[in-house]
Amino acid sequence: MHLLLIEDSQDLAANICEHLEARGHVMDTAGDGVTGLHLAVINKYDAIILDVGLPGMDGFALCRKLRHEAHSPVPVLMLTARDTLQDKLGGFGAGADDYLVKPFALQELEARLQALARRGQAGGVVLSVGDLSVNTDTLQVRRGGVDLTLAPTALKLLILLMRASPRVVSRSEIEMAMWGDGPPESDALRTHIHALRAAIDRRFPVKLLHTLHGIGYQIRAPDAE
Ligand code: CA
């Protein structure tokens, strides 16, 4: 496998590289978030090993940028020193695929990477909430067995909200992910939310897209209170 390791601890990075290179894998490494993100965007990796605590840009921010700005489907395994639920949710909310708490066995790291890379080759990731699903590779959107057609911006918004679900995503976070510096016009987000709601909810009795006034938006199944 061609792997990218983003880890600022030189000792740990050397251990991981030594182990994985001995097993025949090709390793690229970065010691900070900005370099790591750059490598992740310009190269095609089978999987990325991403430390949470990094100088400059942390692992959560890097993973969010990778998913929401670069639209990269590359499998991401996050490493963290803390085994807390909040860290775990933060990682998955940012778009990580798996999670390993330090210290870990190098054999386990490799096994997890193999599993992630296999999943990555198997036709992308299917995100689902209730009876709504989206394949992040083919971009096929289905609800209740029906194929739905979405405009590109609504689709991007849907994937962002589906990845975060059931978390509420703030307006500013959505605008940052969609447009970087700011939306093209002040009402742009509202317009796209309207289009998304029309596409995924209008024909269905159960609504999945929720507006939390003054806070943000959320995609949530009715049984996931
Ligand atoms: Ca670190």
Q: Which residues pair with 26 in a beta bridge?
A: 2
Q: Which of 77-86, 107-116, 123-132 holds the top average pLDDT?
A: 107-116
- pLDDT band, residue 137 (cuts 50/70/90): confident
Q: How far is the CA of 6 from the centre of ligand 1 (A)?
A: 9
Q: How far is the CA of 220 from the centre of ligand 1 (A)?
A: 33
DSSP conformation class of 12: H
Q: How far is the CA of 79 from the centre of ligand 1 (A)?
A: 9
Q: How far is the CA of 54 from the centre of ligand 1 (A)?
A: 5
Exposed, middle or buried, 59 (CB in 10 Å: 0-12/13-18/19+)? buried
Q: How far is the CA of 81 from the centre of ligand 1 (A)?
A: 8
Which residues are within 8 A (CB) of 132 and not within 5 positions of it... i.e. 6 or more apart?
141, 142, 143, 162, 200, 208, 219
Check for a shared fold between 2-120 and 126-224.
no
**Mean residue pLDDT across the chain:** 88
Q: How far is the CA of 185 from the centre of ligand 1 (A)?
A: 39
Domain locations along the chain: 2-120, 126-224
Range 126-224: architecture per CATH: Orthogonal Bundle (1.10)
In the predicted model, is pLDDT for residue 5 greater than 70?
yes
Classify domain 2-120 at the CATH class level. Answer: alpha beta
Whether this model's pTM surpasses 0.95: no
Residue type, 164: A
pLDDT tens digits along 21-65: 999 899 999 999 999 999 999 988 999 999 999 998 999 999 999
Distance CA 217, CA 213 (A): 8
**Ion ligand 1, residues whose Cβ is below 5 A away:** 8, 51, 53
